[in-house]
Amino acid sequence: MASQTESLPDALLEALAEKGRVDSYEYATSVGRNHQDVVGAVKSLESFGDILKTEQKQTELWELTEEGKEIAENGSHEVRLFEAVDQSNGTPQNELMSKVPNAKIGFSKAMSNKWLKLDKSSPGPPQVYRNVESVTDTVRKLLCSLKGESGRGELSDENLKEFKKRKLISSIIIKNYIITQGPSFTTSISKKSTELTAEMIQNGSWKNEEFKSYNFNALGAPLATGHLHPLLKVRTEIRQIFLEMGFCEMPTNNFIESSFWNFDALFQPQQHPARDAHDTFFLKDPQFSYDFPTEYLERVKTMHQTGGHGSIGYQYDWKLEEAQKNILRTHTTAVSTRMLYKLGQQVGVVHSNE
């Protein structure tokens, strides 16, 4: 058995040299070590190259439930109930049910095994009598064979099926490794150097060193890149809410706009200071736009000059030439004016039961 202080990888290599093939779980059980420790040793040895070959597989093991442990400790329900029956005169059924733990299960199993017989002919409660002189607690024996052992102990397929149904055992699936010797198998391993140091070059020790291969395709550590500003984060969350509700975003990639949509459609007077060359970038080529919805343009012109709907307008001579000038848009509200006009040309759909 490998001691707790012995190097587990070294002990595993010695076992592999002796046997040629090792099951990681069986080995862990035989040396009294945790299986995960053995798996860790296997992974460590794999880093040394082709020292060993491994094949992963899944193994179904069985362990006692709490009830199974109690039976392994104190005996099965059926045997304990059998022993509680008076050998000569029998015992009233109601008395057995009240004084023996899990009597209902034990009575059912004992009757099924024909260990007991029930007499209902005599006055009073039914009387339980022994039908055999003695019994063997096979259930306890089988459960004890499983307790502390790997695999299935002495349990047959029929036993497993019965005990699983009685919830005395439960299955666990473990991932274990079948380990065999690799092309470069050896029991003497040395840790490979991971870097060439200045000291190695100076004293020449690099000549006798074995270096670990570099993985030049490995990704570097991820960089801590920028993050959204808290206000932009809230904006993004609200945007996503509207999108999930079915709203669509307006196209905002139209960076060149006519003065008509940027200013006039928003009823900004043509003599407004913000429209002069000090605050707005005017284009030289193309200098003007000509494609406007005629009816809408006339309505905008009227509102500027004389007003309407309770307004008197700005009372000035509105010029088309000024509205035709192309600019680098000064705000994205120009997109809103275009979209409102576009949506206004569509017939709205409503649903009503009237």
Residue 109: CATH number of its domain: 1.10.10.2330
Residues 278 and 336 grouped into a single domain:
yes
Residue 43: the pLDDT is 87
Decide which of 170, 189, 208 is a domain's last residue: 189
Same domain, 264 and 136: no
196 domain residue, yes or no: no
Task: Give mean pLDDT, residues 4-23.
Answer: 80
Q: Which residue has the tokens 């060359």?
A: 277
Cβ-based neighbours of 330, under 8 Å, separated by 6 or more: 262, 274, 279, 280
Residue 87 forms part of a structural domain: yes
Confidence band, pLDDT 50/70/90 cuts, at residue 202: very high
Q: Residues 6 or more apart from 137 whose CB is under 8 A from it? A: 75, 76, 79
- Tell me the average pLDDT across 63-70: 88
pLDDT at residue 275, rounded to an integer: 81
Report how far residue 335's alpha carbon sits from residue 228's, in angstroms, rounded to the nearest whole number.
Answer: 25
For 106-139, write each residue's pLDDT tens digit: 999 999 999 999 888 878 888 898 989 899 998 8
Average pLDDT value for residue range 5-25: 82
Question: How open is the CA angle 215-220-224, to the nearest 5 degrees?
Answer: 175
Q: Per the domain annotation, does 114 fall within a domain?
A: yes
341 pLDDT exceeds 90?
Answer: yes
Q: What is the DSSP-derived secondary structure letter of residue 268?
A: -
106 within 8 A of 77, measured Cβ to Cβ: yes
Tell me the pLDDT tens digit for each residue of 170-184.
888 888 888 888 888
| Structure confidence at residue 188 (pLDDT) | 77
Give the pLDDT mean for 76-81.
91
The verdict on residue 161 lying in a domain is: yes
Q: Are residues 29 and 107 in the same domain?
A: no
Q: Do 45 and 109 lie in a common domain?
A: no
pLDDT grade for 157, boundaries at 50, 70 and 90: confident
pLDDT at residue 256 is higher than 90: yes
Same domain, 165 and 104: no
What is the model's pLDDT at position 330? 92
Shared domain check, 338 and 261? yes
Answer whether residue 243 is part of any domain.
no
End position of a domain, from candidates 145, 172, 205: 145
Q: What is the pLDDT of residue 209?
A: 84
Instruction: Tell whether 260 and 330 lie within a shared domain.
Output: yes
Domain enclosing residue 123, as ranges:
66-145
Residue 232 covered by a domain: no
> Is residue 219 included in any domain, yes or no?
no
Q: Please tell me the distance from the alpha carbon of residue 83 to that of residue 322, in angstroms, as a whole number.
A: 112
When pLDDT is cut at 50, 70 and 90, the band that residue 5 belongs to is very low
Please determine, for residue 167, whether its predicted confidence score (pLDDT) is greater than 50: yes
Which helix (H) or strand (E) segment is 80 a member of? helix 77-84
Residue 149 predicted with pLDDT over 80: no
In this predicted model, which residue has the larger pLDDT, 59 or 277? 59
CA separation (Å) from 341 to 331, 336, 337? 17, 8, 6
* One domain for residues 129 and 12: no
pLDDT at residue 345, rounded to an integer:
87
pLDDT in tens, 258-306: 999 999 999 999 998 878 766 899 999 999 999 999 999 999 999 999 9
CATH number at residue 155: 3.30.1370.240
Amino acid residing at 279: D
What average pLDDT does this structure show over 52-58? Answer: 87
- Whether the pLDDT of residue 28 is over 50: the answer is yes
Of the residues 145, 178, 201, which one is the last residue of a structural domain? 145
How many domains is the chain built from? 3
- Both 179 and 129 in one domain: the answer is no
Domain shared by 2 and 97, yes or no: no
How high is the mean pLDDT of the chain? 87
Same domain for 45 and 89: no
Q: Which of 16-30, 39-53, 145-159, 254-268 has the highest mean pLDDT?
A: 254-268
Q: Decide: helix, strand or coil at residue 151.
A: coil
Q: How many CA atoms lie within 13 A of 296 on its CB side?
A: 16
> What is the arrangement of strands in the sheet containing 169-181, beginning at the earlier edge strand?
21-23, 169-181, 52-64
**Is the domain of 150 the same as that of 132?**
no
**Is 221 domain-assigned?**
no
pLDDT, residue 6, reads: 56
